[in-house]
Amino acid sequence: MAVPASARSGGAPAPRMLGIYLNDHLAGSTAGVRLARRMAREHRHSAFSGELAKLAVEIAEDRRALLWCMASIDVPVRRYKIYGGLAGELVSRVKPNGRLRRRSGLSTVLELEALRLGVEGKALLWRTLLATAVHEPRLDTGRLAELLDRAGQQLTTLDSLHSRAVSALVSPGHRPGVPGSEAGTAASGRRHPS
């Protein structure tokens, strides 16, 4: 996604290491957006639908906010890192989940954990940029604080989704092939010892 030229400050370029750091986060953010959108699509008929759809929108907005931050301090986008993030997300799909052709509850748990790690990293990114803003007036500290707060809210949502996915995975009434199903033993018609 191109950032409008009007977002560029025309000031001194950011230090080289900061540019590398921000491009690394952009690569991770690119993978995170893809994962969040795929999860929202795959769970559109599940109990997780609304929360995952909201997360996918917010994670995409956060990526755009990172691009604006980079443009405001004249950090060029390194396309090869974006492509690396996309490739990493594609490779992450090839993981054992106990099934050959279908998703399992384990896929949901692992993907929620991957999203959570990404959001933790993003929260650290916003903290780093807030610290950088002390010496870099082109960064909007108010907006960075809002993004940091939103990352905290996203972590809370992901923790809730993860707990529910784990409960569904290990519960005796878990229905194979229904990721995130919260079917109880009554729905399965079986009784299991405690």
- Better-predicted residue by pLDDT, 86 or 29: 29
User: Is residue 14's pLDDT more than 70?
Assistant: no
Query: For 97-114, what is each residue's pLDDT tens digit?
Result: 444 455 567 889 999 999
24, 77 in Cβ contact below 8 A?
Answer: no
166 half-sphere exposure, CB direction, 13 A CA radius: 9
At 94, list the tokens: 């090839």
Query: For 128-173, what is each residue's pLDDT tens digit?
Result: 999 999 999 999 999 999 999 999 999 999 999 999 999 988 886 6
177, 45 in Cβ contact below 8 A?
Answer: no
Q: Is 91 exposed, middle or buried (0-12, 13-18, 19+ CB in 10 A)?
A: exposed
- The predicted model gives 21-50 an average pLDDT of 93
The reported pLDDT for the residue numbered 68 is 96
What is d(CA 111, CA 113) in angstroms, rounded to the nearest whole number? 5
Q: Is 54 exposed, middle or buried (0-12, 13-18, 19+ CB in 10 A)?
A: middle
